[in-house]
A and B are shown apart, each in its own frame.
Chain A
Amino acid sequence: EVQLVQSGAEVKKPGDSLKISCRASGYSVSHYWVAWVRQMPGKGLEWMGIIYLHDSDTRYSPSFQGQVTISADPSVTTAYLQWSSLKPSDSAIYYCARVYVDVGPPISSHFDSWGQGTPVTVSS
């Protein structure tokens, strides 16, 4: 069974650092990327970036480039999302998702399995 298990809820103060995790199991990580998605309170979904667990190849959304760091440890099939200095506006639920990619033709890509979400609250 494909599973993406995320680390638990976090409560932090502005300026704190934070690293949350997403452990993948039940499939071959060499065949899939992992995405991170932000959902601010009462808002829609925002794609942050993706990482290939096998070799840590990473692509960022322009909106999040330089704001967060996405990394991976293939030995434990885990992806990470990291902040060096949190702001109150980083308060959100963060989801990881498995990314199916088929270069085809035709090309196909979608997020076919999701983690349970990690709520992050940043408040003084």
Chain B
Amino acid sequence: DIQMTQSPPSLSASVGDRVTITCQASQDINTYLNWYQQKPGTPPKLLIYDASALETGVPSRFSGRGSGTNFTFTITSLQPEDIATYHCQQFHNLSYIFGQGTKVEIK
């Protein structure tokens, strides 16, 4: 089975900072990688699909890149409303695996 390693588990940054989260797959997954945002007490929300495509309505300060085994998710200028846990997800043959999640807090 493909394993996903997401890091860091948590981070604290100031408003306006650039924030980067990484996700590493145990084998080549092409660009079959999605990113979700989950605010406390709410369901996840799709932000990025196919490694780098921005879901409709999602602010442009969110971005993703990568292919193969290494992927990054970036918030270019952290806003107070971005406080959430971010999850990566890979898919392969109608099978889906999530990373462990990264909790983002304001310093």
Report if A and B associate in a common complex: yes
Binding site for B on A (CB under 8 A): 33, 35, 44-47, 50, 59, 61-62, 95, 97, 101, 106-112, 114-117
Binding site for A on B (CB under 8 A): 1, 30-32, 34, 36, 38, 43-46, 49-50, 55, 85, 87, 89, 91, 94-101
User: Is the pair B87, A45 in contact by a Cβ cutoff of 8 Å?
Assistant: yes
A57 to chain B, nearest CB (A): 9
Contact A111/B99 with A62-B1, A95-B43, A116-B43 known, Cβ cut-off 8 Å: no
* Chain B residues positioned under 8 Å from A110 (CB to CB): 34, 46, 49-50, 89, 91
What are the 3 tightest A-B residue pairs by CB atom distance, in nearest-first order? A114-B43, A47-B96, A110-B49
A contact patch SS: strand
Q: Report the bound CA distance from A108 to B44 in whole Å.
A: 19
B1 to chain A, nearest CB (A): 7
User: Is the pair A112, B50 in contact by a Cβ cutoff of 8 Å?
Assistant: no
* Chain A residues positioned under 8 Å from B98 (CB to CB): 44-47
* Chain A residues positioned under 8 Å from B101 (CB to CB): 44-45
Contact A61/B34 with A112-B55, A117-B43 known, Cβ cut-off 8 Å: no
